[in-house]
Structure 1
């Protein structure tokens, strides 16, 4: 099939009946640089951006914002919350501008962000980070699409804020974050036969479509940061692997380049590897190199292969649907199992088979088609 992206090759090795066995290679690079100036990336070169930035007005990020702009420290020193909030966001705005520049027309940006609650001078307030980012993004030229609410339940004993059980003084507990979904220009076009086939092979299961494209996600737990060094722990805005993995499968194709301008410990890069996409990450703190390498190598562990879990989940779905006498009208060509829609006929999942590290910032991953982990053939007579 030839080269589909610069540095990303999708090579047919041989065919067997209706199944084409493929060797797919993806490349991944890290830039330890300021994402406000992504000079290494050309205009219109990225298909998807997935990130979680430092959260303005969350105290653990105060030092970072203050180092980048002394006006943040001045605003906090004079106890001016709204001014500090705006000063912090002005530091993020150039990243969204750069992301817009490097995204291809029709490319998506997915931003995981939480609002902040903070008491300054005995004045408790909500700082709406998601709304401020949406405002900046639409002014840049992004189109805002329906977002996802990520419900992060808190069971801590001190979850209640304000006056406790007494009315007229208690506050609603903030237990959700946002996944903002933005698009550059209009819908992405798939003009070549190669792109159309790559899109078909990048399909998701019908049951995944129903779940992943719902507007509230209840099933993802927040990531507890376990970095040993306190400074590294404060520099990493880690989110769950599954969050990045879903978004990558929802809004990109196999071998598409995916960008994370706030790379942290490398979750988005690992998810891109697992999903068979290329990736580029920007991170300002070189101290996170060991953590990034650990995250990236984790995708090679058989127990961490997300594709195998998806196939098992599909098997369970098929069993339940057949037991309920509901139709499964189509057969997936690569695997031979039933699927609900014609769009799933060429769906093909991939797993990382080999990882080559060229240096501390560059990787190449070879992908195999994910084997069916089923213990028996569901359709034997």
Structure 2
């Protein structure tokens, strides 16, 4: 599998051919979140002028006009029947004494629908916090406090109709990329309870904080909306969370990062990905399934089918060809204007060969 990162703005992804991408999974800068003001203003100086003139709604609209250019490029590069998944949070901000909500999710939905994307049921990512100072406003007094934002959105779009599987090879790859029945029941629910991740960056010269989502989010989405060997694009690469999820899931990936100063950090993150931990994560996924089957049998409930590749019982016939392919190597191929990595896998490694451990993955956030 190949993984490439380009260091330029995603408003122009000319390195990618039309209809060559199978899935987009991304989390863009959130308009009206202050940490992104400079990056977005550098794309359009009118944004900075709008802030200087105390015109927040104008700045908000201009920021989304820049994001709209990226969604247009996503439409161009995505194949028919492919998906666009966008993690976005709404914003609250006080400007010129006015506290207000800025609905980023509705702006993106409207823009993508105008391009022709079909908006499917979206996911509410709830990342609740118990911080005592999370409430905004006057506390216990009526008419002066504000509801806290403890959720973000994962917007799901499809380009055109359902994906068509024409060849026997494509159909086999789809079956090989299936997921467990109990995973389906969690992943395809409309509310995800997932903790956020720490946002400090120790080695980035251009910013102190990072807005990366936890790896569990792109990991789920890549499993849900692509199959092994597909190409996954992230137009807002950040610290490479989507690329790591693609690597673990045996997909190809392409990413764009506007900040060239993040290149050494991205190189270090991907080049030093802990292969053993990635494989332990897959093993733990298998072990969790075994625990599910054992508990179901204890309750005298049926587990009807056999998966001979994994040597375990499964709930449906669609799971009988599911296989885990373990990561063998990550090799740096290019380090010039772009970064390029190649990954290889143990394609038919027996699950019994994996270490019998239950330690957690360094990447995975429960």
Query: What is the distance in 2 between the residues matched to 1:235 and 1:135?
Result: 29
Q: Which runs of 4+ in 1 moved over 6 A?
A: none
Partner of 2:363: none
Partner of 1:243: 217
- CA deviation map 1:15-67 (0-9, x unaligned): xxxxxxxxxxx111111111111001111000000000000000011111111
* Preserved contact between residue 123 and residue 153 of structure 2 (Cα < 8 Å): yes
Flag the 1:137–1:28 CA change in 2: closer, same or farther, 3 A.
same
- CA deviation map 1:179-234 (0-9, x unaligned): 0000101100001000000000000000000000100001x221212322565435
- CA deviation map 1:165-189 (0-9, x unaligned): 1111111010000000001011000
State whether structure 2 residue 300 is matched by structure 1 residue 318.
no
Query: What is the distance in 2 between the residues matched to 1:371 and 1:281?
Result: 32
* Preserved contact between residue 53 and residue 237 of structure 1 (Cα < 8 Å): no
State whether structure 2 residue 131 is matched by structure 1 residue 156.
yes
State whether structure 2 residue 105 is matched by structure 1 residue 130.
yes
* Preserved contact between residue 307 and residue 321 of structure 2 (Cα < 8 Å): yes
Range moving further from structure 2, 152-161 or 105-114: 152-161
Q: Shift of residue 294 of structure 1?
A: 3.2
Partner of 2:61: 86
Q: How many residues align structurally? A: 350
Structure 2 counterparts to residues 1-381 of structure 1, below 5 A: 26-218=1-193, 220-229=194-203, 231-233=205-207, 236-305=210-279, 306-360=281-335, 361-369=339-347, 371-372=350-351, 373=354, 375=356
* Preserved contact between residue 332 and residue 338 of structure 1 (Cα < 8 Å): yes
Q: Shift of residue 122 of structure 1?
A: 1.5
Q: Shift of residue 374 of structure 1?
A: 7.6
Return 5+ residue gaps in structure 2 as ranges. Answer: 358-366
Flag the 1:97–1:235 CA change in 2: closer, same or farther, 3 A.
farther
* Preserved contact between residue 57 and residue 85 of structure 1 (Cα < 8 Å): yes
* Preserved contact between residue 201 and residue 209 of structure 2 (Cα < 8 Å): no
* Preserved contact between residue 334 and residue 346 of structure 1 (Cα < 8 Å): yes
* Preserved contact between residue 201 and residue 208 of structure 2 (Cα < 8 Å): no
Range moving further from structure 2, 126-135 or 233-242: 233-242
Q: Shift of residue 240 of structure 1?
A: 0.8
Secondary structure at the aligned position of 1:238 is classed as: coil
Secondary structure at the aligned position of 1:233 is classed as: coil
Return 5+ residue gaps in structure 1 as ranges. Answer: 1-25, 377-381
Query: What is the distance in 2 between the residues matched to 1:230 and 1:338?
Result: 46
* Preserved contact between residue 300 and residue 352 of structure 1 (Cα < 8 Å): no
- CA deviation map 1:320-373 (0-9, x unaligned): 111111111000121120000000000011221111111221111001146424
Secondary structure at the aligned position of 1:214 is classed as: coil
Q: Shift of residue 293 of structure 1?
A: 2.4
- CA deviation map 1:136-167 (0-9, x unaligned): 00001100000111101122222010111111
Secondary structure at the aligned position of 2:155 is classed as: strand
Secondary structure at the aligned position of 1:112 is classed as: strand
Q: Tell me the TM-score normalized by structure 1.
A: 0.89
Flag the 1:225–1:371 CA change in 2: closer, same or farther, 3 A.
farther
Query: What is the distance in 2 between the residues matched to 1:60 and 1:132?
Result: 20
* Preserved contact between residue 56 and residue 116 of structure 1 (Cα < 8 Å): yes
- Root mean square deviation, CA, Å: 1.6
